[in-house]
Amino acid sequence: MSSNPLLSWIEKLPPEEWARRLGMDSVTDVRVIGIVSRPYSWVARCRISGPQEVRTIYVKQAKNPENISAEELAIHSRKEFDAAQKWYRLFSRSDSFHVVKPLFYVPGEAISVTEESTGTSFYQIVEEGARRFNPRYDRAALQKAAEQIGRWVAYKNSITGLEKEQYQLNNLLNYLRVRFDILLDDPRRIFEPELPGRINAYIKERWPSLPEGQLKVSLSHSDFNPGNILVEGDHVIVLDFGKLNHDSYLLDVVKLYHALILWTFKPQFSRKNIGEIQKSLLHGFGESGIRTSPMFSFLLIRNIITHLTNMSRLRGGSLPGRVYNRWVMNREIRILKSMIGHED
């Protein structure tokens, strides 16, 4: 019997119970293909075999790094699964746009099970396709994938738009304030003390002139990064849904746009190729000119600050890693200064 609690649970569940929970006639073999440890969960990839079919699933068990009560952990885990179910129902009518399929939840163990989705990770598509001097560079394929992802976001907004809500200035400023405090607490002093005031002033000065259409709110994925997006032909499947956040309708597309910016920091990637992918993303989203809008800029600032905050916590590791992280942080801070018209 394994010492890992998730592997132990998988091993103990009888084949007939696997069959019942997955709606299979019978199960003859349960095999763990791999398991990964994340900060807040264990995730195992399993192959479930029967006489008539073979299913590949992901089994996730919540960890408890913050030592909350078992009851709180169960509530949080159940909320994530319920959110995943709601997202699946919302996308069930689309032929091309999908989300991961939740299968069942085990309350006493904080375990959730989802179906494996097919497709190629958008991270892999960009990582392999957008390099400099790539003899296999396929501009059309990259642009098509990015356009379809943009259309996925537009479709998501069309079915989850919250017409009675508007994105509020205070929401953005409060979000930034928490992260400014973390950045200013970094002993390396990379983030200059005057920057929060300049950024807040930049946003406040321009907020009153925002068109009402840019204040729209929808349900947000909250972690719309290339690794959570699969592409297969015209089909886009988005993974890792655990929240039902009400946020700006632009947040997900801006987050992915920012993720693409980070590739331009690597010398092996072509800025031109990445720029074409970004343009295709916004074209598919249906608002090609939104890049120059104030709200897009505000949310890009938000994403840069979020990324800087996450990197500020990475103070350990190897010397080359620390040097690279600091270099990336300085690059992003220069972008911030350029956006708000700050001169060094």
Is 19 inside a domain boundary? yes
User: What pLDDT is stored for residue 322 in this prediction?
Assistant: 82
For residue 88, give Cα distances in angstroms to 92, 196, 229, 242, 268: 6, 39, 15, 11, 37
pLDDT by 10-residue block (mean), the chain, 344 residues: 87 96 97 93 97 96 91 91 94 96 94 96 93 82 96 96 94 97 88 95 96 94 92 94 88 97 93 94 95 96 96 78 87 95 63
Is 31 inside a domain boundary? yes
Do residue 208 and residue 87 come from a single domain? no
CA dihedral (92, 6, 46, 38) in degrees, to 10, reads 70
User: What pLDDT is stored for residue 324 in this prediction?
Assistant: 85
Do residue 146 and residue 23 come from a single domain? no
Range of the domain at 138: 120-339
Interaxial angle between packed helices 294-312 and 319-339, expressed in degrees from 0 to 180 and rounded to the nearest 10? 160
Interaxial angle between packed helices 251-263 and 294-312, expressed in degrees from 0 to 180 and rounded to the nearest 10? 60
Do residue 99 and residue 146 come from a single domain? no
Do residue 179 and residue 104 come from a single domain? no
User: What pLDDT is stored for residue 6 in this prediction?
Assistant: 96
Residue 156: name the closest of 281, 293, 250, 296 by CA: 250
Is 15 inside a domain boundary? yes
The CATH number linked to 29 is 3.30.200.20
> What is this structure's pTM?
0.92
**Which residues lie below 8 Å from residue 149, measured CB to CB, with a gap of 6+?**
122, 229, 231, 236, 256, 281, 284
User: What pLDDT is stored for residue 342 in this prediction?
Assistant: 63
Do residue 9 and residue 145 come from a single domain? no
Do residue 71 and residue 142 come from a single domain? no
Domain boundary among 97, 115, 133: 115
Is 344 inside a domain boundary? no
Is 283 inside a domain boundary? yes
Do residue 182 and residue 64 come from a single domain? no
Do residue 153 and residue 26 come from a single domain? no
Do residue 276 and residue 129 come from a single domain? yes
> Quick one: tokens of 135?
């003899």
Do residue 62 and residue 143 come from a single domain? no
Do residue 191 and residue 111 come from a single domain? no
The CATH number linked to 210 is 3.90.1200.10
Do residue 264 and residue 155 come from a single domain? yes
